[in-house]
Amino acid sequence: DQQVKQNSPSLSVQEGRISILNCDYTNSMFDYFLWYKKYPAEGPTFLISISSIKDKNEDGRFTVFLNKSAKHLSLHIVPSQPGDSAVYFCAARDNTDKLIFGTGTRLQVFP
């Protein structure tokens, strides 16, 4: 039973445009959501997070939006850069403080 879902396995975006990565979850008890970025042969690195009491968090080119009623969050990257090409994982914190990860979306930003 996949509690955190990333339904798009891949996304291709032109440099300078907006990248939108989506994530859906099923457990309404999740209280904290995070996005991680992973390059090949490296571990995931933390990108941005949002508490369940907020609906938006912005950090430079990265903004995370949370829609609790729809159990949906999204990561916006604008403007997208070739160095953003990586696999992006959505994660949610459960009531035992562990993170439940989605299956990832591979973003490719082309010139």
Partner 1 sequence: GAGVSQSPSNKVTEKGKDVELRCDPISGHTALYWYRQRLGQGLEFLIYFQGNSAPDKSGLPSDRFSAERTGESVSTLTIQRTQQEDSAVYLCASSLVATGGYTFGSGTRLTVV
Q: Which of 31, 10, 40, 7 is nearest to 106 (CA)?
A: 10
Min separation Cβ 99 and partner 1, Å:
6
Min separation Cβ 24 and partner 1, Å:
13
Nearer of residues 37 and 63 to partner 1, judged by Cβ: 37
Tell me the β-bridge partners of 64. Answer: 57, 75
Q: Is 23 near partner 1 (CB under 8 A)? A: no
Q: Can you tell me which residue has the tokens 């035992």?
A: 96
Nearer of residues 8 and 49 to partner 1, judged by Cβ: 49
Q: Is 1 near partner 1 (CB under 8 A)? A: no
Backbone angles phi, psi at 46, to 5 degrees: -65, 135
Site map for partner 1, 28-67, x if CB under 8 A?
----x-x-x----xxxxxx--x------------------
Residue type, 13: V
**What is the DSSP-derived secondary structure letter of residue 82?**
G
Q: Is 102 near partner 1 (CB under 8 A)? A: yes
Residue type, 43: G
Give the C-alpha separation, 111 to 98, whole Å: 38
Which spans of this chain sit near partner 1 (rule: CB under 8 A)?
Answer: 6, 32, 34, 36, 41-46, 49, 89, 91, 93, 96-104
